A = this chain, B = another copy of it.
Amino acid sequence: MRVLLVGAGGVGAAAAGIAARRDFFDAFVVADHDAARAEKAASGTGDPRFVAARVDASAPEAVAALCREHGITHVLNAVDPRFVMSIFSGAYAAGADYLDMAMSLSSPHPERPYRDCGVKLGDEQFAVADDWAANGRLALVGIGVEPGLSDVFARYAADHLFSRVDEIGVRDGANLVVDGYDFAPTFSIWTTIEECLNPPVVWEADRGWYTTEPFSEPEVFDFPAGIGPVECVNVEHEEVLLIPRWVKARRVTFKYGLGNEFIEVLKTLHKLGLDSTGPVKVGGVSVAPRDVVAACLPDPATLGERMRGKTCAGTLVTGLDRSNQYKSIYLYHVVDNEWSMREYGSQAVVWQTAVNPIVALELLASGTWSGVGVLGPEAFDAVPFLDKLVEYGSPWGIREQ
């Protein structure tokens, strides 16, 4: 296996560090628009299989050329979701398989944005799934932690814990604090705004996919490992689009434990138009307000040393168990920032995202996982993935509610 990693930001650099401890690949090219950042992530592994390259992720032909130059078999996309389609197309053009951690972007329904779906997350990728399958190529989409591990949990629960699944609700929460900042998101603010301000999507068996107002159906979810109760709200997320394609359930939701303060910040950004990705003229220049917001905040990848606490990703499944008893079970994965900083030098949120595509690459390299077309994580057997996660030193947990 010869891997091209596109993106040497927080998640990309963490992925390189995790992969460097494994022997399932022969070459690992770390590419970024910032050559110095790529070089730092590659050389930081101290592993001669890693080399750095510069790439324009917005140009499919540049991605394809880099694949051909290095004989790439698998492209791992670790940049923000604006670049999904260019990297996805570039990998296909070069005959490589493809993995990402976020899918092609949605756009709201032009007339009824808070009721009906417009273009859904991943629609552009699924539109060409037949081409990928016909060419024997695999795009494994949404294989970070959420989407990714959360989808694996859904598949595991359906296969091994339940006889009938009523609701699959992904629940994500943390008690991370960043010392020395009034406000410092622990994950890309660009992506967080995209997720939280787009109309949240819900799936129901008798209705299909539909949308709601942002921040709908608030609930307080009690997270494990000492994190405790956090206010969670519906947000747009890939799991809701992926899980119903492969796992039988009556309802699928995603709720993000944003907490009240973060919700208020996002509402204010939206109210002022500062979430916009369209350029505004300011003096003699044009900028996208959302990029200015991101530029004002510290880079989450650099905050690990100042962070304290844990982050939890998990999937709450309710339905009838194998004995036809009504059950509600939360399958989850917790990363303590102190542990991830000590073991890998990566902060908890980016490490938790980055470990999953490396596990998946290892399962694909061994042939334990295989397939063609555009497939989500729940299209594969969950057990070897969850076992591998334990082998990587990061076990998962299960809690009956």
Contact = CB atoms under 8 A, between A and B. Distances in A.
Interface of A: 182-183, 264-265, 268-274, 276, 280-283, 285-289, 291-293, 295-297
A293 B271 CA distance: 11
A297 B283 contact: no
Contacts of A271: 182-183, 265
A292 B289 CA distance: 7
Nearest to A275: B296
Contacts of A270: 182
A126 B288 CA distance: 41
Given A268-B264, A271-B183, A274-B274, A291 B295 contact: no
Contacts of A274: 274, 292-293, 296
Contacts of A183: 271-272
Contact of A292 (B265, B268, B282): B282
Contact of A296 (B265, B276, B295): B276
Contacts of A269: 268, 272
A149 B229 CA distance: 52
Nearest to A296: B273
Closest 4 CB pairs of A and B: A273-B296, A285-B285, A268-B268, A183-B271
A286 B271 CA distance: 24
Given A285-B285, A287-B285, A287-B287, A295 B268 contact: no
B282 A295 contact: yes
A263 B182 CA distance: 17
A292 B264 contact: no
A281 B295 contact: yes
Given A182-B271, A269-B272, 6 more contacts: A183-B271, A264-B268, A268-B269, A274-B274, A274-B293, A282-B288
A285 B270 CA distance: 23
Contact of A280 (B286, B288, B292): B292
B297 A292 contact: no
A269 B183 CA distance: 11
A283 B190 CA distance: 14
A272 B287 contact: no
Contacts of A292: 274, 280, 282, 287, 289, 292
A289 B296 contact: yes
B293 A272 contact: yes
A331 B341 CA distance: 62
A269 B270 CA distance: 12
Most chain B beta-carbon contacts within 10 A, residue among A273, A280, A281, A297: A273
21 contacts: A183-B272, A264-B264, A265-B271, A268-B268, A268-B269, A272-B296, A272-B297, A273-B296, A273-B297, A274-B292, A274-B296, A276-B296, A280-B295, A280-B296, A281-B295, A282-B287, A282-B291, A285-B285, A285-B286, A289-B292, A289-B295
A270 B297 CA distance: 11
Nearest to A183: B271
A288 B289 CA distance: 11
A401 to B, nearest CB: 35
A264 B265 CA distance: 9
